[in-house]
Chain A
Amino acid sequence: MSDTTVQLEVFRYRPDNGGPTYQSYEVPYHDDWVVLDALNYVKNYIDGSLSFRWSCRMGVCGSCGMQVNGEPSLTCAAFLRDHMPGPIRVEPLVNFPVERDLVVDINGFMEKLDHVKPYLVREDDDGDLSAEYVQTPTQLDRYKQFSMCINCMLCYAACPVIGRVDDFIGPAALALAQRYNLDSRDQGKQMRQDVIFQNEGIWECTFVGECSEVCPKHVDPAGAIQQAKLEGAFDYYKRLLTPWARRS
Chain B
Amino acid sequence: MNEAQHDVLIIGAGGAGLRAAMAVVEANPDLSIGLVSKVYPMRSHTVAAEGGMAAVIKDNDAREHHIYDTISGSDWLADQDAVEMFVDEAPRELIQLEHWGCPWSREDSGHVAVRPFGGMQIERTWYAADKTGFHVLHALFQTSLQFSQITRYDEFFATSLLTADGRCQGCVALELRTGELHVMRANAVIICTGGFGRIFPFTTNGSIKTGDGLALAYRAGVALKDMEFVQYHPTGLPGTGILITEASRGEGGILLNNEGRRYLQDYDLGEPLDVHDPRHPQNRAMELGPRDRLSQAFMHEQAAGRTFDGEYGDYVQLDVRHLGEDRIDTRIPFVRELASNYAGIDPVVEPIPVRPVVHYTMGGIDTDVHGAATLPGLYAAGECACVSINGANRLGSNSLTELVVFGARAGRHAAAAVAGQQLSDGPEIDRQVAAERDRIAELRARPAGGERIAVIRDDLNTAMEAGAGIFRDEASLSACCATLRELEERVDRMSLDDTSPVYNTELISALEIDGMVDISRALAHAALDRTESRGSHQRTDYAARDDAHYLKHSMAYRTDGDPRIEYKDVVITRWPPADRVYGSSAGKDGK
Contacts and interface: CB of A to CB of B under 8 A. Distances in A.
Interface of A: 14-17, 32, 43-45, 47-49, 51-63, 77, 99-101, 103, 106, 110, 113-114, 117-120, 122, 125, 129-137, 139-140, 143-144, 147-148, 150-151, 176, 180, 183, 185-186
B498 A48 contact: yes
Contact of B110 (A47, A114, A136): A136
A17 B500 contact: yes
Interface in B394-419: none
Interface in B73-124: 92, 95-96, 98-101, 103-112
Contacts of B337: 59
A16 B500 contact: yes
B472 interface: no
27 contacts: A17-B500, A48-B498, A49-B498, A49-B500, A57-B207, A60-B334, A61-B42, A61-B48, A99-B503, A110-B40, A110-B154, A114-B145, A117-B145, A118-B142, A118-B145, A119-B100, A119-B145, A120-B99, A120-B143, A129-B92, A132-B95, A132-B99, A133-B98, A140-B105, A147-B135, A147-B138, A151-B40
Interface string B430-457: 0000000000000000000000111000
Contacts of B138: 147
Given A106-B40, A133-B98, A99 B177 contact: yes
Given A43-B454, A48-B453, A119-B143, 20 more contacts: A43-B505, A48-B452, A48-B497, A48-B498, A49-B506, A53-B39, A57-B207, A58-B243, A58-B342, A60-B48, A60-B131, A61-B44, A99-B503, A113-B145, A119-B101, A129-B96, A132-B95, A132-B99, A136-B108, A151-B42
Contact of B242 (A58, A143, A176): A58
A139 B110 CA distance: 9
B479 interface: no
Contacts of A14: 500, 502
B490 interface: no
Given A49-B498, A77-B341, A136-B106, A185 B454 contact: no
Contact of B506 (A48, A61, A151): A48
Closest 6 CB pairs of A and B: A44-B454, A48-B497, A134-B110, A49-B498, A100-B503, A55-B206
A16 B502 contact: yes
A60 B47 contact: yes
Contacts of A136: 106, 108-110
Nearest to B207: A55
Given A48-B497, A56-B47, A61 B504 contact: no
Interface string B447-488: 000001110000000000000000000000000000000000
Given A16-B501, A45-B454, A48-B498, A61 B45 contact: yes
B198 to A, nearest CB: 10
A56 B43 CA distance: 8
Interface string B34-56: 00000110111101100000000
Contacts of B98: 132-133
A246 B454 CA distance: 61
Q: Helix, strand, loop or mixed for chain A's interface?
A: loop
A119 B146 contact: yes
Nearest to B142: A118
B499 interface: yes
Contact of B104 (A60, A125, A132): A132
Contact of A48 (B92, B95, B108, B496): B496
B153 interface: no
Contacts of B590: none
B398 to A, nearest CB: 20
Interface in B324-355: 334, 337-338, 341-342, 344
Interface in B241-257: 242-243
A231 B364 CA distance: 51
B47 A47 contact: no
Nearest to A45: B454
Nearest to B507: A48
A55 B110 contact: no
Contacts of A15: 502
B28 interface: no
B239 interface: yes
Contact of B39 (A43, A55, A125): A55
Given A44-B454, A129-B95, A137-B108, A100 B500 contact: yes
Interface in B17-39: 39
A59 B333 CA distance: 13
B540 interface: no
Given A43-B454, A44-B452, A57-B206, A100 B47 contact: no
B240 interface: yes
- Which of B44, B103, B111, B496: most chain A CB closer than 10 A? B103
A129 B135 CA distance: 19
Contact of B101 (A48, A53, A110, A185): A185
A118 to B, nearest CB: 4
Nearest to A49: B498
A158 B499 CA distance: 33
B499 A45 contact: no
A101 B96 CA distance: 41
B105 to A, nearest CB: 8
A207 B508 CA distance: 42
Contacts of B498: 48-49, 51
A16 B503 CA distance: 11
B92 A62 contact: no
B99 A125 contact: yes
Contacts of B497: 47-49
A59 B145 contact: no
Nearest to A79: B341
A18 to B, nearest CB: 11
Contacts of B103: 140, 143-144, 147, 183
B341 A140 contact: no
- Which of B95, B96, B109, B496: most chain A CB closer than 10 A? B95
Nearest to A148: B131
B239 A32 contact: yes
Contacts of B108: 136-137
B102 to A, nearest CB: 9
A197 B134 CA distance: 29
A54 B108 CA distance: 39
Contacts of B95: 129-132
A134 B39 contact: no
Contacts of B135: 147
Nearest to B337: A59
A125 B143 CA distance: 14
Nearest to A139: B110
Contacts of A119: 100-101, 142-143, 145-146
Contacts of B92: 129
Contacts of B142: 113, 118-119, 176
Contacts of A59: 337-338, 341
Interface string B225-245: 000000000000001101100
A185 B110 CA distance: 12
A116 B100 CA distance: 16
Contacts of B107: 137
A133 B404 CA distance: 19
A63 B138 CA distance: 14
B384 interface: no
Given A16-B502, A48-B498, A49-B499, A63 B99 contact: no
Contacts of B43: 53, 55-56, 61-63
A52 B498 CA distance: 13
